[in-house]
Structure 1
Amino acid sequence: MSEVRIQTEDFDLSHEMAQLRAGNARVGAIVSFVGTVRDLNEGAAVAEMELEHYPGMTEQAIQGIIEQAKARWPIYGAQVIHRVGPLKPMDQIVLVAVTSPHRGEAFSACEFIIDYLKTEAPFWKKEQTPDGARWVDARSSDDQALAKWS
């Protein structure tokens, strides 16, 4: 099972994990990553972050990332839920979850998916700071994380 959802509403981690492994007794590992909004970025307080995306293209890009992970590791399922719209510090932004026979494959595939998601999926972030709104540029650390998979 692979699922990609872009949504404004929050998600329930326990519910999503149960759905991902439901009925599959072969699953030996579930690994998940949840990204949240920080209250500080690049030295500035963040009151709100707004995420925008390119509908249709974003889901297709993420599905392609999941397919690449499936080609590299024996995973049974993967799920990506990414929120858009205005978010406050401590809000959940993204869930990446992977099921596989063993933990090593699940950890690797989950890390691969989030690394590619951070650099390859068409999302744009705007933060509200005390100095006003600012668009967030891509980070070199995200590019470095991606490079290890080449």
Structure 2
Amino acid sequence: MGITDEHPGERSGPDPIRLLAIRDTPLSLDEVFAAVRDDAAGGTAFFVGTVRDHDGGASVRGLGYTGHPTAEAVLRRTAAEITAKYPVRALAAVHRVGDLEVGDLAVVVAVACAHRGDAFDACRRLIDTLKEEVPIWKHQLFTDGGEEWVGA
């Protein structure tokens, strides 16, 4: 199951990438947690991104995410890089596209490792790389009628 602590480059057992998706339906913390449950993992780290009600001093009323057709393939490559670099037992990442309201879950990632430090490090790297490299763009709508594309 994933990379062993003793030999970070070796794999044994099933693929540690358990769930990857870009979808236009609501995200579930329970689904992601179930995907990364692993009896050999002593630590599971999550990141949950939600739509906030402000950005850069302006009030946000909602937003829309649009993904490029290659987004899921780039997400898979990103996940594979994380599992190659860290001793990951299980990994999951789901990102929402479409129209979202304030408070909606936009992205959920989780990483399970034998030790909490590795889980935190891998999870942080996963979300940071996802936001930097996966071609998903945010169209923010402000309460004053303004709008802005982010990441395009």
Q: TM-score, normalised by structure 1?
A: 0.84
Shift of 1:26: 1.1
Q: How does 1:1-150 map to 2 (within 5 A)?
A: 1-2=16-17, 3-21=19-37, 24-55=38-69, 57-129=70-142, 130-137=144-151
User: Which one-letter code corresponds to 2:23 in the other structure?
Assistant: Q
User: Which one-letter code corresponds to 1:49 in the other structure?
Assistant: L
Q: 5+ residue gaps in structure 2?
A: 1-15
Tell me how far apart the structure 2 counterparts of residues 15 and 72 of structure 1 sit (CA, whole Å).
25
Tell me how far apart the structure 2 counterparts of residues 9 and 137 of structure 1 sit (CA, whole Å).
22
Shift of 1:81: 0.5
Give the secondary-structure state (helix, strand or coil) at the position aligned to 1:46: strand
Q: Which one has a larger percent helix, Structure 1 or Structure 2?
A: 1
Shift of 1:137: 4.3
Give the secondary-structure state (helix, strand or coil) at the position aligned to 2:88: coil
Give the secondary-structure state (helix, strand or coil) at the position aligned to 1:79: strand
Q: TM-score, normalised by structure 2?
A: 0.83
Map Cα deviations across residues 4-36 of structure 1 (whole Å, 9 max, x no partner).
101111122123202321xx3212111110000
Map Cα deviations across residues 96-134 of structure 1 (whole Å, 9 max, x no partner).
101111111110000001111111110111111113222
Q: 5+ residue gaps in structure 1?
A: 139-150
Tell me how far apart the structure 2 counterparts of residues 120 and 19 of structure 1 sit (CA, whole Å).
23
Tell me how far apart the structure 2 counterparts of residues 67 and 19 of structure 1 sit (CA, whole Å).
16
Tell me how far apart the structure 2 counterparts of residues 15 and 114 of structure 1 sit (CA, whole Å).
18
CA RMSD of aligned residues (A): 1.4
